[in-house]
Amino acid sequence: MTKKGFVKRYFITGLLIWVPLVITVWVLNLLVTTMDQTLLLLPLELRTENWLGVHIPGMGVALTVLIVFATGVLAANIIGQRLVGFWEGVLARIPVVNSIYSGVKQVSDTLFSPGGQAFRKAVLVQWPREGMWTIAFLTGTPGGDVVNHLKDDYLSIYVPTTPNPTGGYFVMVPRADVIELDMTVDEALKYIVSMGVAAPNGSGRKNNVAAATRPQQKAVNE
């Protein structure tokens, strides 16, 4: 190996060590800094800058956790439920705010409630055209007036983008064209974020390529 090859090899090795570390620290710093903004909820005399003389990073995180936990405790009893119901009733009477709040609440209830069914399964679908395959997530079945215009049995799926899965497409596809994957949602997300580099372990898994060549062999069961 030439000297240039050695330099390139060692440089790439260093990148493989530093890039994940730097990005992890950057994300954590961003989260802590953002959550520290909740310190604005505290009176000036209770902020650490005033009674300790220095700002303590992470206090916003602790405060956020405390506020969320306390809100959950209060909302779990009868009085809290009535207050929440009253508050939601007020928001429901405000134009525009009602549309935004109700939509966000429906999504959050689906994602975070213990019985939520969002992203229930990882599936394989042909996207963006026939013959090309990608991983998607089953989110449910079509509802409302949409059902009256779909002749066959359809499923609602979310097709995430790579490497940022928070953006994507909501589509409804025939159940027969959806293949259920033998992998967890977490494994599928990691696979998507890594752009196919961090493939799930093959132990006890089905051969995805073979399954893709037999689209009618296994359809997702509700």
Residue 70 in tokens: 């306390």
Q: Which of 177, 184, 129 is nearest to 157 (CA)?
A: 177
26 assigned to some structural domain: no
Decide if pLDDT at 175 tops 90: yes
Give the domain extent around 168.
Answer: 121-212
What backbone phi and psi angles, to 5 degrees, belong to 96? 70, -55
Neighbour count for residue 74 (Cβ, 10 Å): 13
The larger pLDDT score, comparing residue 122 to residue 10, is at: 122
Neighbour count for residue 66 (Cβ, 10 Å): 11
Q: Give residue 214's pLDDT.
A: 44
Residue 20 in tokens: 């994940």
The CATH code of the domain that includes 193 is 2.30.30
111 assigned to some structural domain: no
59 assigned to some structural domain: no
Question: Which positions ≥6 away from 136 have C-beta within 8 Å?
Answer: 122, 123, 124, 125, 127, 157, 158, 159, 160
105 assigned to some structural domain: no
Q: Please list the residues that pair with 174 across neighbouring strands.
A: 154
* Alpha helix positions (H), 37-58: 48-51
Whole-model pTM? 0.53
Q: Give residue 217's pLDDT.
A: 42
115 assigned to some structural domain: no
Decide if pLDDT at 206 tops 50: no
195 assigned to some structural domain: yes
| Domain count within the chain | 1
54 assigned to some structural domain: no
182 assigned to some structural domain: yes
Q: What distance in Å separates the CA atoms of residue 17 and residue 15, rounded to the nearest whole number?
A: 5
